[in-house]
Structure 1
């Protein structure tokens, strides 16, 4: 009876649905530019809705055990509170899950790949990667598509693409659209810097902000711009400036080598100068997305700051490929506390609790029919 009721509701919706998808309306402050969107995948309300459903659906994995949301949890800024992610079949993923915050503004994607500039490209990795297996789609493409041929998804695909039958092209485009919609510009810092609210930051946070943007600490050189990362593009600025950096975490052989398990940009460029280079992630919502660094090897922000103050970690301080911005600096305990307080001001509670980004309730009804 429940399945029949769902089918009747979907049939009625299909009959009433509009012929043309509705353009997506960005929820951005007036002084924040829109991100760059690929011409072959324009943002629509319907694609975002479909992508949201798919993002939370474990049917997208080979064994129906994981979804995208398994490693990208909203309460952690769509990151994961573990050093390493684990794929749906138990494979260990070497890198720490990146927070999905303002990904639409990223000029490059993943921790260390210069050729991935669009979310549609990046999504192919967790979906189809075989070493390690993440969602494990490869070899089971047809089986997974069959799972998504329910009345619920037929309605969503019809709304988004004008075709009720799921396809991998449409799945990827819908997922990319939802991920692009995950924008965060409502932190206390935003209210202070862009909203004209002088009391949005405490005196301590303002002190930390001044330190952050100082030449002494040089944080802003790698974490600058509207998204607090050099790797950014938007409607007014599309130049991606030196997004990858070696921060002096390792020096395995005294000549600059990083652990064989992950050698950064070098693994795709084969350029020795790229050994240990990783993309500087956004610092927005950084307080809730611990642990830190590409391998999740740093537990707290205080430890991160101490590493940069020392000019690296252990033998990594003498790494010949280390960024010139990681020179080290002196600071007092008061200054460290102020810097952390400023980073806390980048936390956007509205983003972390936005119901539009959460698992859709209708999906639970569909899965239990």
Structure 2
């Protein structure tokens, strides 16, 4: 591993991975005090990506994962408390709703219903609750100046939580459902802290706080947010043990012949890999998404949802939603941000013939910003659609399949084991304030002038 002369004099160190080193092995060489920047779509388009080596930029940041045993034990203890929080139905108003109400373990921690009912009878969320598998690995929301195929440059959003990116980090995301009127319906952090102090796990949540801090509602609430974040970082949420992982590691027998044909469609005619990357980005194994934003023209369910544009107020971003990871996608029906399509085959047929058979799919919320360049008329045959649909099963983690077979709600979890923290150097540290976002490039138009810009889920 050698320093790259192209970055000489830069304050950010860069390294070139030798061709004879595997990606995960070299990542471990770079771990320690290094926090890796996420690789973005522009990196995948660059000559460096296709050459004999990969350029890694790394910022010198202190990491909780590199702390002493006390730090590790605290992380493990918080993760255990986070599991209790995740299951607790006493925190909602009225009681009866927990995180698992909408993120069901049997559905890869997604919701098999199109829209999720809230704690208050009759209140329904506006979006399909996504899977929490690998959620802790989604990069924080940021903008990138990305080189386009025509040689121009364009500012694009990538990463962030919720399907519209309205929470920039995982820590911002875990707190919002508590106070959403269509979810757990709490009115304040005082209300949350009061419930937490009465919980069966209160003493464990309190551990490490002074009496003064335990009396502070905001500090108690933030302790709970951190516990949920630590729980979502646990290995059970990121097993990387799907058959596609075996195949990409060199096991040719991991996929069936039909799935191999589907993989060829995935990489070529179907254009899936353009957004659902098969190469590693911010993690040693592929996350099967670039976490960018697009308007795919999903069928409307009635109420318009402005998505990303609802909080950026940008004309070109109205109706856009973040590309999800395809890991465990076979378990997370229904699909799209509003749960409008019931099966994977239906989704693939939609991508293939959206523009050829528009009557089948009906209207979409914001047709003026729909991506009509990359999908809608892919020309796949019925056999290719079947092959691509079959491939989706290869993205399912064995951990979840075994859990379902045994009738368990959770895989075996052992917070505090070495694997619980050995890879944590890749996680954004929730304690570090994210740098301010660059100013959004100006947009013109009045698409949103008369819209209610609610980001309610």
With the shorter chain as reference, the TM-score category is 0.7 to 0.9
Report what 1:220 is aligned to.
Answer: 273
| Mapped pair 1:156 → 2:200 | no
Question: Higher strand proportion, which one?
Answer: 2
| Matched residue SS, 1:298 | coil
Structure 2 portions without partners, runs of 5+: 1-23, 38-60, 66-71, 140-159, 356-360, 414-457
Report what 1:345 is aligned to.
Answer: 394
1:75 to 75, 81, 106: 106
Map 1:288-303 → 2, pairs under 5 A: 288-303=331-346
Structure 1 portions without partners, runs of 5+: 1-28, 253-257, 361-369
Cα distance, 1:97 vs structure 2: 0.4
Cα distance, 1:352 vs structure 2: 5.1
* Alpha-carbon distance in 2 for matches of 1:124, 1:147: 15
Report what 2:225 is aligned to.
Answer: 172
Report what 1:244 is aligned to.
Answer: 293
Map 1:166-205 → 2, pairs under 5 A: 167-181=220-234, 182-194=237-249, 196-205=250-259
Report what 1:11 is aligned to.
Answer: none
**Range with bigger deviation, 30-39 or 295-304:** 30-39
Report what 2:138 is aligned to.
Answer: 106
| Mapped pair 1:208 → 2:259 | no
Q: Determine which structure has greater relative contact order: mean sequence separation of CA pairs < 8 Å that are 6+ residues apart, divided by chain length.
A: 1
| Mapped pair 1:309 → 2:352 | yes
Q: Deviations over 1:22-48 (max 9, x none)?
A: xxxxxxx86888997997976721111
User: What is the TM-score with the length of structure 1 in the denominator?
Assistant: 0.74
Cα distance, 1:152 vs structure 2: 4.2
| Matched residue SS, 1:83 | coil
Report what 2:326 is aligned to.
Answer: 283
Cα distance, 1:303 vs structure 2: 0.7
* Alpha-carbon distance in 2 for matches of 1:347, 1:149: 38
* Alpha-carbon distance in 2 for matches of 1:41, 1:261: 42
Give the total of aligned pairs.
314
Alpha carbons of structure 1 residues 353 and 150: separation in structure 2 relative to 1, 3 Å? farther
* Alpha-carbon distance in 2 for matches of 1:351, 1:31: 29
